[in-house]
Structure 1
């Protein structure tokens, strides 16, 4: 496949490689490199203004990374931070684009708020460079600093409703966002979270007996039970253990005090282990050691518009998922294949799912692990999306 140009992938909230904020973007740019594009990821962080090649991407293209320091440093203070984020956000990105000896064939933006999008759209129109936006969230005000009426949330909403529909093309992470932005009349492509599934090595896991002990895992930030209902999961674990089942829940991310707070300050049930934060490189191994990961969310707009990366990472690790269905999870999570489905997010339904999981034999769990891995290879490996993404970008030459 021939090389087709270079893409500037920009955004104020792109993070150093390997952190949570970068994993969505890694999948997209890896697909573009596999389709023949050279991609430069210019994040908003303070990383050095020197391009660093990222290895391990299959295809004729390439991916490199640098930082533009769009985000104010921790030492900036409230006034300096406000000026940078409310007035100047995007100016450094535009200056970097102006300084390139050859203009990019496309600009791909991830997570730009109103001020950032204002500067970026004006530059792209002036230079006749197509601007493609990657939309991954509906931005729930409960999850951002300042709440619903804070300047950050208002800026996000202005970008969602005014700037994003006026981009040249839109990549949507979910069917909900795809349907919403299709009304704009602009070219749109739905791409779920993707990662390098093929290169993820699976460790053999041996379990014996007709009903071996059940190991569950949760990894992430529940945002005080506002996003992931970890308190509900813990309650259900206690219920199943009182039935006499051997169940262990391993919690990665929040501290023990935070986990107890999510459980109303009560003593955690036996079998709940709080293991703290893990480096991203170790998450896959931790997931593989579990029989299931657990993802329980309220069926609200933010959950349906987004798409959990944790879900995709679990299937990629060959670990089935116990979840209630939000967003597009029903496309990939078939009951008793890639995992177990809770009919809703209540304690009763989660408890019933845990009881069913505890009763599965080692053979049944092995079959589900194979189904999870196969689904991830087919649906979430970045290589599977190289051809449709390349075709989408080639609309603009």
Structure 2
């Protein structure tokens, strides 16, 4: 009986990042459907260096192994170029029990080896593709090699695998002949970290924005410099607000955006930089905010994936101020459960933030009620679609 699914990737399981959160959540979704799941990722401490070996651990109730050395007594080849680690776990589990092997944004060479392994043991391959990144930085050879691998995975290996999890309709539309599911994100909202924010009793204080995350190379990912420009514009209009920025310090910001030194000095009373904080602290501060804010260029990078920032805010009942990328317009109605800028031009970003700042106390309270009443990413809502997807997998023996 093929009752086991292996979920594999280079995500850091201990750090509660977006990739690990997605992997563990999908694993729990599969377990609710009735499958046994083993997640292969990376632990903070490499296996073999822990007192007990550290080859298997339970995280959020999910069985996890370190993909660098998942089984004692074996040191497989590096996972980006080999499927030996996955093969070791499949043998330990029993290859006859493995229904599918899921690869999360997997390096192309290792993925090719993984597809051969699936064919050999009669398991169905599944590709979970949420990233189609742009050229980053100035390291030409690294970028060229990386881009070649990504293009191979997204354009060719998705066709070879036949089964693809897509985070957006945009990407799903580029795989019309494959067996696909649209799965932006799922969360086990029974866990304490996803406890919704209580409805505030007062809305007469200045609007409080929060940005949390890594702005990316050159701060291009979430357009943080454009947000600072917009906030500076609002401050010049004598509009009151507060903005907490998590994930980067003031000095780190100014190192990448020295042209904003005067703006940051002018905004010293409104904008506070907190640097890197734990995921738990980030969620706690998000609960106390009035709006989560980020903006992204509406390109292939943003349309392929789905913003974890939106998922977290939506789940906690916090309105979001952003622009239309990926499938966000499915879940955000401008003026109802957040504000949707028509684009990322400076005046458009400033306009969306101004709408949030000037929303009346009654309007803010009603917007929070709407947000608290819905969560489109609750795991139970996706069980039927996920079950149909798994029932129809291609490539099974």
CA drift of 1:131 comes to 0.8
- The answer for the alignment partner of 2:178 in structure 1 is 186
| Distance (Å, rounded) in 1 between the aligned partners of 2:240 and 2:151 | 46
SS in 2 for 1:228: coil
- The answer for the alignment partner of 2:63 in structure 1 is 64
Contact 1:252–1:274 at 8 Å: present in 2 too? yes
Q: Output the aligned Cα RMSD.
A: 2.5
Contact 2:24–2:39 at 8 Å: present in 1 too? no
Change (3 A) 1:385 1:147: farther
Give the one of 78, 89, 92 matched to 1:96. Answer: 89
Contact 2:197–2:318 at 8 Å: present in 1 too? no
Give the one of 50, 57, 72 matched to 1:52. Answer: 57
| Distance (Å, rounded) in 2 between the aligned partners of 1:383 and 1:4 | 23
SS in 1 for 2:150: helix
> Which structure 2 residues correspond to residues 101-180 of structure 1 after superposition, within 5 A?
101-102=94-95, 103-142=97-136, 149-180=143-174
Per-residue displacement from partner, 1:118-155 (whole Å, max 9, x unpaired)?
A: 11000100111111111112122227975784322221
Contact 1:146–1:152 at 8 Å: present in 2 too? no
> Which structure 2 residues correspond to residues 284-299 of structure 1 after superposition, within 5 A?
284-299=283-298
Change (3 A) 1:296 1:10: same
SS in 2 for 1:266: helix
SS in 2 for 1:142: coil
CA drift of 1:14 comes to 5.2
| Distance (Å, rounded) in 1 between the aligned partners of 2:139 and 2:42 | 18
- The answer for the alignment partner of 1:266 in structure 2 is 261
| Distance (Å, rounded) in 2 between the aligned partners of 1:96 and 1:173 | 27
- The answer for the alignment partner of 2:6 in structure 1 is 8
- The answer for the alignment partner of 1:43 in structure 2 is 41
CA drift of 1:166 comes to 1.0
Contact 2:199–2:369 at 8 Å: present in 1 too? no
SS in 1 for 2:289: coil
Asked if 1:385 is matched to 2:377, the reply is: no
> Which structure 2 residues correspond to residues 179-258 of structure 1 after superposition, within 5 A?
179-182=173-176, 185-199=177-191, 200-206=194-200, 208=202, 211-223=204-216, 224-258=218-252
Equivalenced residue count is: 372
TM-score, L = length of structure 1: 0.86
Change (3 A) 1:363 1:144: farther
- The answer for the alignment partner of 2:314 in structure 1 is 315
CA drift of 1:205 comes to 4.9
| Distance (Å, rounded) in 1 between the aligned partners of 2:115 and 2:91 | 14
- The answer for the alignment partner of 1:362 in structure 2 is 361
| Distance (Å, rounded) in 2 between the aligned partners of 1:346 and 1:370 | 30
Change (3 A) 1:164 1:145: farther
| Distance (Å, rounded) in 2 between the aligned partners of 1:255 and 1:235 | 17
| Distance (Å, rounded) in 1 between the aligned partners of 2:140 and 2:105 | 18
CA drift of 1:159 comes to 1.3
SS in 1 for 2:40: strand
Which 5+ residue runs of structure 2 have no aligned equivalent? 48-53, 71-76
Per-residue displacement from partner, 1:15-68 (whole Å, max 9, x unpaired)?
A: 436223211212211211111111110115565353323346xxxxxx211102
| Distance (Å, rounded) in 2 between the aligned partners of 1:344 and 1:39 | 41
| Distance (Å, rounded) in 2 between the aligned partners of 1:193 and 1:144 | 32
- The answer for the alignment partner of 1:18 in structure 2 is 16
CA drift of 1:6 comes to 1.4
